[in-house]
Structure 1
C-alpha cells in the first residue's frame, strides 16, 4: 500500500501541465497581437495593455477565494468550472471581435471572465501537486518544476502561436483559447484522480484561525516570497510588452517573424525553469541559493534592456539573461511555498502567492506603456534596484532552519 500511495500516472501529470500551459497562452498569446488590435479596434497602446491587465486583475481578487474553496471542497471541484469560465470568456471576446463594429468593451468583459476562470484553475495546480505526492518532497519539487516549465513553455509558444493565428484572422487567438480550454477540461475530468481526504474539512472559523497562525509563524519568509512573485512577473510582462512594441517600431520586425524573435528569451526561460525544477529536489539550502543567484542575475541584466533597445542582438542577449534568471527563480518560489505549508491550508497560502504573481502580470504592460517613451532607462534601473532590495530581504528573512514550523499541526 505504501509503495503506491504516491503513484501518479503520466497522464495525470500531462493533464495538470495543460492548465498552466493553456492559461499562459490565454494571456501571453495576445502580447504580440496587441499592435494589430490597436489598429483593428482603433485603441491606444494603454487601452491595448488593459486587455492583458483586465484578465489579471480579475484573477488577483478571486484567487484567494478559489484557494479557500479548493481547501474546503476539493481541488477538482474548483478547477473544472473555472476552465469552463475560461472557455466562455474566450468565446465572448472572439465573437465580439468578429461581429461588432466597436468590440473593445465586450473584449474586456470576455477577458475578465477568462481571468475569473484563471483564478480557479492555474493556482490550484500547485497545492494539488502537493496533495498527490503527500510528503514526498523530491517528487513534489520535481513535478512543480515540470508544471512551471509548462507555464514557461506556454510563454515560448505564445508569441509564435499568437502571430500565426493573427495572420490567419486577427481575432482567432481569442477562439483558440476556448478550444484549448476544452481540451484541458477533458484531460482533467478523465485523468486526474485526487486522493480522498480522510480528515473533515476545517470549519471556517478554525480555518481563519489556522491561517492567521501560519502567517504569524511563517509570515516573514512568506511575504518575501510573495514580493519576489510580484517583482518577477512585473519585470517579465513589462519586458515582453516593451519587446513586442520595440520589435515593430524600432526594428520593423512584424507578424510571424516577430513571434519567433520574441520566443528566444522565453525559450531560454523555459529551459532554465526545467533545469531548476530538476535540481531543487526539496532542498531548502539549494532553493535559497537559486533564489539569491537568480535575483542577482535578473537585477543586473534588466538595467541594460533600455540601453540596448536599438541594437537587436544585444537586446536579445540581455533579455535572454533576464529570462534565464526568472526561469530558474520561479520553480524555487513554487516549491518553497507548496512544500512547507500543511495540506489543509496549502491551497489558500499558495493562492495568495499566485495573486501576488498576477499583480505583477497586471501592472507590467500598462506601466511600460506609460514609461517607455520618456522614462525607459529609469524604469529598468528602478527594477534592478528593487531586485537588489529584495535580495537583502531574502538574506534577512528566508532562514532555512526556520521555514516550515507550522507544517505539522501542534
Structure 2
C-alpha cells in the first residue's frame, strides 16, 4: 500500500510523548494508593475518606470523558490534550499546597483531585483515537503502538507504589506536587513532538447530530461493545480494589511500611506491565486471538481474585496470587484496546474510546471505596462475588464477541 503523502512520519519521540500521557495520569492516581494510610494519619481521616481521594479523581473523569471525546472529534486531539494536561498540573499544585499550608486540607485536596480528574478526562482517553489517526491505514502498527501505550499505562502502575512511597518518605504531601512536575514534562513533549495529521476540512457535527450518530453506533455495534466496556470496568475495579487491600494488608498484617512496601506492591504490577507489553506486540490485528486472550484471562481473573482473601495471611502466597491476577489483567487491557480500534471506524473512534475509558474509570472509582467497606467483615464473600462476575463476563464474551479468522497473519499467530 502506498503511503499517504499527507501523513506525517511518526517519530520515536512522538510515540514517547503520547506514552507519557497515560504514564503521568496513572502516576497521578496509583501513586497515592501506598500512601493513603499516611494521609489518614496526617489529615485525620478514615480509610473510606482516604479512598475518596482516588475515587474523586475517577468520578470527575467518568463524567467528562465523553465530552472530551466529542470535542476531540470536532476540534482535534492535540487541542483537547494540552489544556487537559495543564488542568492536571493545576490540580496537583492545589492539593499539594493545601496539604502543606492548611490545618484541615481535606476539602482542598478533594478539589485538586477533581481538577486532576478533569484533566485526565481530556488527555488519557484521547490517545487511543490519536494513535489510530497517526497510523490510519496500518492496523498492525496501530496495534503495536497501542501495546506501547498500554504498557506505559501499566508501567506507571509499577512505578507508582515505589515513587509514591519514596516521595512520601521525604514529605507526605510531595506526591501531589510531583504530579504537577510530571504533567509539565508531558505538556512540553506533546507540544513539540506530537504532529497530528491534517484531516479533511469538514464541518463538525452539531451536538444533536453527534448524539444521534452515537446512538446509531451503539445500536449497530453494541452487541460486542457492551461486553468490552464491562470487561474494562471489571478489570480496573478488581485491580484497584486488590491494590487498596494489599496496601492496607502489608502494613497491618505483615508490618511492611514505607519504600519497602512500595517495592512489594510493585511485584504484581510488574507482572501486569510485562504481560501487557508482550500481549500488545503479539495480538496485532487478529481479533480471534483477542477473543481467546479475553476468555483465558477472564478465567484466570475469576479464579485468582476469589482466593485473595484466603491467602492474605501468607505473604508469599498472597504475592503469587496477586501476580497471577496482574498477568491476567495485563493481557486483557491491550486486547480490549485493540478490539475497539479494529472494530470502530476512524471517525468514530474518539467517541467510542471515550465511553470505553469512562467504563474503566468507573472501575477505578469503585474499587477502593468498595474494598474499604468490605475488607473488614466481608472480604472473602466480596472476592467470591467478583469471581462470579468474571464468569458471567466470560459467557458474554463467548456469545457476543466474534473473532475474525480471516485476519490471522499468514505465518501464524505468534
Please list every run of at least 4 consecutive aligned residues from structure 1 whose deviation after the TM superposition is greater than 4 angstroms: 401-404
Rounded Cα–Cα distance in structure 2 between residues aligned with 1:202 and 1:288: 34
After superposition, residues 9-408 of structure 1 pair within 5 angstroms as 9-204=11-206, 205-401=208-404
What is the distance in 2 between the residues matched to 1:403 and 1:211? 28
CA contact (8 A) 2:31 2:163 kept: yes
Q: Residue deviations 1:75-99, cap 9 Å, x none?
A: 0000000000000000000000000
CA contact (8 A) 2:232 2:356 kept: yes
Q: Match of 1:135, SS?
A: coil
* Cα offsets for 1:107-128 (capped at 9, x unmatched): 0000000000000000000110
Shift in Å, 1:401: 4.8
Deviations along 1:101-159, one digit per CA (max 9) or x if unpaired, are 00000000000000000000000001100000002111111110100000000000000
Equivalent pairs, count: 404
The answer as to whether partners of 2:85 and 2:183 remain within 8 angstroms in 1 is: yes
Quote how far apart the aligned CAs of 1:44 are.
0.3
Cα pair 2:286 2:404 within 8 Å, conserved: no
Distance 2:406 2:127 in 1: 22
Give the distance between the partners of 2:173 and 2:404, measured in 1 at CA.
52
SS of the residue 1:307 aligns to = helix
Q: String of CA shifts for 1:151-206, please: whole Å, max 9, x gaps.
A: 00000000000000000000000000000000000000000000000141442243
* Displacement of 1:68: 0.3
Counterparts of 2:253 and 2:266 in 1: how far apart (Å)? 18
Is the CA contact (8 Å cut-off) linking 1:340 and 1:403 kept in structure 2?
no
Unpaired segments of 5 or more residues in structure 1? 405-410
2:233 and 2:405 map into 1 onto residues whose CA distance is 23
Q: Which runs of 5+ in 2 are unaligned?
A: 408-414
**Quick check: 1:148–1:331 contact (8 Å CA) kept in 2?**
yes
- Partner Cα distance (2:287, 2:102) in 1: 53
Closer, same or farther in 2 for the Cα pair 1:222/1:201, shift >3 Å? farther
CA distance in 2: counterparts of 1:123 and 1:217, whole angstroms? 22
Matched residue SS, 2:285: coil
- Aligned to 2:343, the other structure's residue is in SS state coil
Residue 3 (structure 2) pairs with residue 2 (structure 1): yes
CA contact (8 A) 2:290 2:403 kept: no
Q: Check the 8 A contact 2:286/2:405 in 1, yes or no.
A: no
CA distance, structure 1, for counterparts of residue 275 and residue 145 of structure 2? 15
Counterparts of 2:405 and 2:86, CA distance in 1: 41
Return the alpha-carbon distance in structure 1 between the equivalents of residues 300 and 64 of structure 2. Answer: 33
CA contact (8 A) 1:202 1:344 kept: no
TM-score scaled to structure 1, two decimals? 0.97
C-alpha RMSD of the superposition? 1.5
* Contact 2:288/2:402, CA 8 A, preserved across alignment: no
Shift in Å, 1:399 = 1.6
Q: What residue number does 2:412 align with?
A: none
Q: Distance in 1 between matches of 2:387 and 2:271?
A: 20
SS at match of 1:11: helix
Partner Cα distance (2:175, 2:27) in 1: 9
C-alpha deviations, 1:316-336, integer Å up to 9, x for none? 000000000000000000111
- Residue range with higher mean Cα deviation, 117-126 or 197-206: 197-206
In 2: Cα distance, 1:203 partner to 1:237 partner: 37
Once residues 380 and 187 of structure 1 are traced to their aligned partners in structure 2, the CA distance between those partners, rounded to angstroms, is 41
Mapped to 2, the partners of 1:403 and 1:251 lie a distance apart of 51
